[in-house]
Amino acid sequence: MRNPKIVRMVQLALLCALSILLMFVVRFPIFPAAPFLEYDMGDVPILIGTFMFGPVSGLLITVVVSVLQWLIVSPQSGWVGAVMHIFATGAFVLIAGTIYKKNKSLKGAVIALICGSIAMIIAMVPMNYLISPFYLLSDQLPYRAAQQMYMDNYFWYSTGFNAIKSILNTVLTFVLYKGMVRVLRLIDKSNSQLC
């Protein structure tokens, strides 16, 4: 007899590992003028895990993946990258997961993914204003000057990036969700909580 808690932990760990793997394999800048804004598919397993296990598990996966991303995938982005990823993906996961948990249907999934995308884009506007300037800080460029420079040069790229990223993640999650559930069910065929 398998312990359901251990099975769940293994499934969540596999989703984290898949997320990190996808960050290495699929990674490209969307805007040449802002090459630090790179799309990767790492959020897709996070969203799939959110739909399977709920928004709290989705947030847990988000935090674990964000810290691992900071440490092993893109250490050059530092704590700023980790914080931005937690807020961006966390907003998406929280809204999409909450909506889908209440309406587990095809229509519910579509509504959840659209609302999650909108939540991410909106949540990142103040985060880009407040946190992103830390990328530009130096001895010669204090926070206020970095903030103004970011707003003048990169704000619209960041907003466009978040819109494109959320749309790509929505489409990929929608397409891959059922297949991924089947794969994770192989770990424990008796786990009836998966959709």
* Residue 32 placed within a domain: no
* Residue 124 placed within a domain: yes
* Residue 110 placed within a domain: yes
Q: Is the predicted pLDDT of residue 61 greater than 60, yes or no? A: yes
* Residue 63 placed within a domain: yes
Q: Is the predicted pLDDT of residue 192 greater than 60, yes or no? A: no
* Residue 192 placed within a domain: no
Q: Quick one: pLDDT at residue 74?
A: 86
Q: Give the residue numbers spanning the domain of 113.
A: 4-25+40-185
* Residue 30 placed within a domain: no
Q: Quick one: pLDDT at residue 180?
A: 75
Cβ pair 15, 48 in contact under 8 A? yes
Number of structural domains (the chain) is: 1
| Of 25-34, 118-127, 183-192, minimum mean pLDDT range | 183-192
Average pLDDT over the chain, rounded to an integer: 90
pLDDT of 85-116, one tens digit each? 999 999 999 999 999 999 998 899 999 999 99
Provide mean pLDDT across the span 167-182. Answer: 88
Q: Quick one: pLDDT at residue 186?
A: 67
Q: Quick one: pLDDT at residue 194?
A: 47
- Indicate which CATH number applies to the domain containing 171: 1.10.1760.20
pTM across the whole model:
0.88
pLDDT of 1-22, one tens digit each? 578 888 889 999 999 999 999 9
φ, ψ dihedrals at 27, nearest 5°: -155, 120
* Residue 195 placed within a domain: no
| Among candidate residues 44, 74, 42, 19, the one with its CA nearest the CA of residue 172 | 44
* Residue 117 placed within a domain: yes
What contacts 119, CB < 8 A, 6 or more positions away?
91, 92, 94, 95, 96
Regarding predicted confidence, which is higher, 62 or 106?
Answer: 62
φ, ψ dihedrals at 39, nearest 5°: -85, 140
